[in-house]
Amino acid sequence: MNFPTVNRIRQLGIKPDKKHGQNFLIDMNIASRTVDCADISPTDTVIEIGAGLGSLTFFLAKKQASTISFELDKQLFKILTYSLPYDSHVSIINQDILQVNYEDYFACPKKSVLIGSIPYSITTPILLNVFKDCNFIKHAVFIVQKEVAKRLCESPGSRDYGVLSVYCSAYLKTSLLFSIPPECFYPKPKVDSAVISMVPIHDRNWKDEDEALFRQVIRAAFSNKRKMINNCLKNFAAKKKIDPDQLREESARSGIDLKRRAETLSAEEFYKLTSVVRKLKQC
C-alpha cells in the first residue's frame, strides 16, 4: 500500500470532489502522528470514517488492529481495496458513514476506537452520531476544521460556545491536540484543520429520557443567543405547560438566574435547569 502523495494522486487520475469535501491528507508525519494519538493496540477494533486515499489507513494497517474503514466514493473504494496487502487486518466498506449503524460494527462487549479525517460539510451529523453511541466507544481521534475544534472545546462565556460545546462537555472529554496547516492537504482547503481527542463520559446515556429533556432545554435556551434564557424558554415552557413565574423562581432556588444568556451556563448548570423543568413538568 502506498501513501497518497500529490504525484500518486495525479498518476491515479483522481480529481478531488468538492461536493464531498475531498481534501486528501498528503503529509506523512501528520498522518502518522494522528494515528499515534489514537493509542491503538493490536487487540482494539478500529472504525475509520472516510478513508479517502488511505492517508490514515496506511498507518492503521501497521497497527495490526482489526480495522473497518468506510469510504463512500466508489473509485477510492476500489483503489483502497486493491492496494491493501492480502494479509491486511483492514476491511474497506463502500458505504455512506451517515447511513451506518455503528452497533453493527462495534466489538461488543469491548469498546471501539474511532478515527478519521472528517469532511467539513458533515462534521456535525458525524459528531451527533458519536454522542449517541458513546457507550460503545473507547475513544475517538478526528481531523476537523480548526474552527469547529475550538468550538467543541470552548468554555462557558466564550464567543463560540454553543449547543455542540455543551454536548461535548456533557458526554465527552474533548481536547484539541494540534493544528494542521492547509499545505498538508491536496487540494489545499481555505482553513486550518486540527486533531481532536474525544473520550466518552460513560455514566451518561444519550438515549435516556432525562438526557433527551436535557438536550431540549439546551436547544431552547440557545434558540436566540442575544436574548436572556428566560425569554428563550417562553415557548418551550408553554409547550410543557410550565408556569413561567414558577420556572424563574425554582431556577433561582437552584442557583440559575434566567436573566443570564445561554452561553454563560456550563453543562452542569444546564443539568440543574433540566431538573427544575422536569419537576415542574410533573406537577
- Maximum distance among all Cα pairs of the chain, rounded to whole angstroms: 69
Q: What is the pLDDT of residue 186?
A: 95
Domains along the sequence of the chain with CATH: 6-200 (3.40.50.150), 209-282 (1.10.8.100)
| Residue at grid coordinates 475531498 | 22
Element (H, E) at 90: strand 90-93
Q: What is the pLDDT of residue 141?
A: 98
pLDDT tens per residue across all 283 residues of the chain:
889 999 999 998 998 887 777 899 999 999 999 999 999 999 999 999 999 999 999 999 999 999 999 999 999 999 999 998 888 899 999 999 888 887 787 766 678 999 999 988 889 999 998 888 888 899 999 999 999 999 999 999 988 899 999 999 999 999 999 999 999 999 999 999 999 999 998 788 898 999 999 999 999 999 998 899 999 999 999 999 999 999 999 999 999 999 999 999 999 999 999 999 999 986 6
Residue 46, H or E segment: strand 45-49
d(CA 48, CA 233): 39
- pLDDT value, residue 121: 84
**pTM above threshold 0.85:** yes
| Helix axes of 163-171 and 209-221: crossing angle, nearest 10 degrees | 150
Write down the pLDDT at residue 108. 65
User: Which residues, at least 6 apart from 77, have a Cβ–Cβ distance to it below 8 Å?
Assistant: 71, 92, 94
pLDDT of residue 283: 62
Residue 109: the pLDDT is: 64
pLDDT at 202: 76
Alpha carbons 205 and 133: distance in angstroms, whole number: 9
Helix residue ranges, H only, the chain: 6-11, 28-37, 57-60, 74-83, 123-132, 146-153, 163-171, 209-221, 229-232, 234-239, 244-253, 267-282
User: By three-state DSSP, how is residue 275 classified?
Assistant: helix
Give 217's contacts (C-beta < 8 A, 6+ positions apart): 233, 236, 270, 273, 274, 277
Q: Residue 139 is inside which H or E element, if any? A: strand 137-145
DSSP 187-256: SPPSS-EEEEEEEE-TT--TTSHHHHHHHHHHHHHTS-TTS-HHHHTHHHHHHTT--HHHHHHHHHHTT-
How far apart CA 171 and CA 131 sit, in angstroms, is 7
Under 8 Å between Cβ of 141 and 114: yes
Contact 69, 80 (CB under 8 A): yes
Reported as type and span, the H/E element at residue 155 is none
